[in-house]
Structure 1
Amino acid sequence: MRKTALIIVTILVFFSCKNEPRTSLETTSETELITKYPSDVISFMDKWKILLGDGTHVDNLVNYQKDDFFYVLNDGKTDWVVYKTPNAGITSKTSSNTRTELGEKRHWIPEKGGKLTGTLKVQHVSTTGDATAASSYSVVVGQIHSDEGHENEPLKIYYKKFPGHTKGSVFWNYEINTKGDNIGRFDYSTAVWGYDFSVVGSDVSVYPEEPKEGIALGEEFSYEVNVHKGIMYLTFSSNGHKTVTFTKSLIASEFATISDIPQQVLKVYANREKGGGVEREIAYAGEINYFKQGAYNQANPKSTKSEVYGGDIIKQYENGSYAEVWFREATVGNSTIPE
């Protein structure tokens, strides 16, 4: 009888505990298991597809994330979408650089245009590279990309920081839509804060002076790209820095003759086949384009001699051979009338 009574008491206690409200500890534990997706932080993910640094292509980004490449982190105050990619992985057929980068599904011609915004902070760029190579230690955080013709890029927004420097540079490049073949294509670079693309080291491991008006890793900044009726309007802003604006036609070339090629270009491309051409007079007029956003790593073993540890992604992450960019806000849509 005593054994039977003990069994009955045990059953009663079990069901009594089962029906009690959960403790705060139990509630917290279950909450921590809930995954927050990039599409929960930035709602426009349905308008994009993505290529990750390991070669993964994904067309539906709603409720999608992938550890080590595309996911959400909180810095104690704000949720951020993280884009992370190694120096070497599997990349697109037209590039030697890896990326974890969004590609806009909608396409448009400059005359119709579109608008892209982003608020971000760059957390890391490759710590290895060749200081004399203009692309070393840099990542592209926003683009306009052509989807026909030469498939060149009328806009690339860069962040670059040399090893040992506290501050890096933000600049943007315009790539000409080359007349004829594309061998002579070149980028013309414009500084926002710090240096432009053409400022490089004097030797493989000798760096220029740190930019005085630069942006540090982890320092937030914003950009707006508004292409309206063929004209590109750029706005860059950051607390503690002067807001900077630019205007550039995408339908009438500034580089249509040999005499139009800037001295900066002659310097950067002095020893290359690429860089001696001219642009077609109508630039990108009538050509299909689309936006890109994320982390397009410019460090690679081919042109910047960056370390890649045999392509082992884990080793690259452990040893600083990667780019990492965090976005907390971004929008994409139709162009607006410039103010």
Structure 2
Amino acid sequence: MKKSLFIVVLILSIVSCKNNSKSTSIEKIVSKKEAKYPSDIMPFMDEWKILLGDGTRKENLLKYKKEDFFYVENDGVDDWVVYKTPNSGITSKNSSNTRTELHQKQYWIPEVGGKLTGTLKVQHVSTTGDATKASSYSVVIGQIHSDEGHENEPLKIYYKKFPGHTKGSVFWNYEINTKGNNIGRFDYSTAVWGHNFSVVGDSANSYPKEPENGIALGEEFSYEVNVENGIMYLTFTSENHKTMQFTKSLVKSEFATRKDIPEQVLKTYANREKGGGIEREIAYAGELQYFKQGAYNQANFKSTKSEVYGGDISKQYANGSFAEVWFKKATLLSKTK
């Protein structure tokens, strides 16, 4: 009897060891899957540095990730690089907007140019804010930024969706490179799908009509920014939308006199000190530029009155005060003369 009992216990121990071995193997597989880094998905990460929404700065992005800000997710089909940032955090010295955003290391001038592409889906924009403020409920997903002069931005690509709407808008803004005092700078906005930057609510809690040809959260689309010989060429594509293309000179201004200021600008900046300037005739010619890509959250408390829960990031994430953008593919091309 004792011998039989010993044999049963021995068999159970062997089975248990095998099960534990299988469990350990499964855990190793899961750990290996979770260990993916953004640089595994997009090998061009060695050409960028990053600023995260909690103020973290990182120069070397190879095999780097940070939970809740910059990491990899799989949607059941593809791996995506996630850029996530709250409405309020620690940001750069010249901005009130938080970001988890790549910053190109190599600079270039418009006359030489460069090329940036991205295939993405916006998963979330802030659900808190003031609908009369143009930056509310929006995130910038790609930029060209100047590193000289006024350090203005010849390109900002936006996604914006009002609360309660199914579809949001994709548009791009051009900021003038102001002649003289930069207090008069303004953005001119062009719609891609949906509304442009100037379409806002009639009151803090009322929203304009939902765009019929807009882009929903989680809907994939792509952009291509190609600057060559001083000209910026933009292409936007989406499976269920018309391909949209635009051309804009970065070396010859369209806004060099008072009469050139568009009606859209006069309306958008009517109650602001900013927005009355003109641009230097050569725009951004000769100025060093660089690309940016990721989630540059525009819904800060200062300009949009969004709820930021005293700056507590976990509370912002739990209550909708954040932006989250997923990129599946992206490329960067640096050009030479």
Tell me which residue corresponds to 1:308.
Answer: 308
Residue identity matched to 2:111 = E
1:152-231 correspondence runs (5 A): 152-231=152-231
In 1: Cα distance, 2:223 partner to 2:335 partner: 14
Deviation per CA, 1:235-265: give whole Å up to 9, x if none: 0000010000000000000000000000000
Tell me which residue corresponds to 1:150.
Answer: 150
Question: Which protein is richer in helix relative to its size?
Answer: 2
User: How far off is 1:334 after superposition?
Assistant: 2.9
1:32 to 11, 14, 30: 30
Deviation per CA, 1:199-242: give whole Å up to 9, x if none: 00001101001000000000000000000010000000000100
- 1:183 aligned counterpart, secondary structure: helix
Tell me which residue corresponds to 1:3.
Answer: none
In 2: Cα distance, 1:111 partner to 1:123 partner: 35
Deviation per CA, 1:136-173: give whole Å up to 9, x if none: 00000000000011000000000000000000000000
- 2:315 aligned counterpart, secondary structure: helix
Where structure 1 has 5 or more consecutive residues not aligned to the other structure, the ranges are: 1-5
1:109-148 correspondence runs (5 A): 109-148=109-148
Tell me which residue corresponds to 2:64.
Answer: 64
In 2: Cα distance, 1:240 partner to 1:23 partner: 48
Residue identity matched to 1:295 = A
1:100-115 correspondence runs (5 A): 100-115=100-115
Task: State the superposition RMSD in angstroms.
Answer: 2.0
Identity %: 75
In 1: Cα distance, 2:229 partner to 2:334 partner: 11
- 2:265 aligned counterpart, secondary structure: helix
- 2:182 aligned counterpart, secondary structure: coil
Tell me which residue corresponds to 2:261.
Answer: 261
- 1:218 aligned counterpart, secondary structure: coil
Structure 1 runs (4+) greater than 3 angstroms displaced: 20-26
User: How far off is 1:28 after superposition?
Assistant: 2.5
Tell me which residue corresponds to 2:3.
Answer: none
Deviation per CA, 1:269-306: give whole Å up to 9, x if none: 00111100000000000000000000000001111000
Closer, same or farther: CA 326–169 of 1 in aligned 2, 3 Å: same
Residue identity matched to 1:203 = S
Where structure 2 has 5 or more consecutive residues not aligned to the other structure, the ranges are: 1-5
Residue identity matched to 1:298 = Q
User: How far off is 1:25 after superposition?
Assistant: 4.5
- 1:40 aligned counterpart, secondary structure: helix
Is the CA contact 1:226–1:335 (under 8 Å) kept in the aligned structure 2? no
Count of aligned pairs: 326
In 2: Cα distance, 1:298 partner to 1:332 partner: 24
Tell me which residue corresponds to 2:281.
Answer: 281
Is the CA contact 1:44–1:331 (under 8 Å) kept in the aligned structure 2? yes
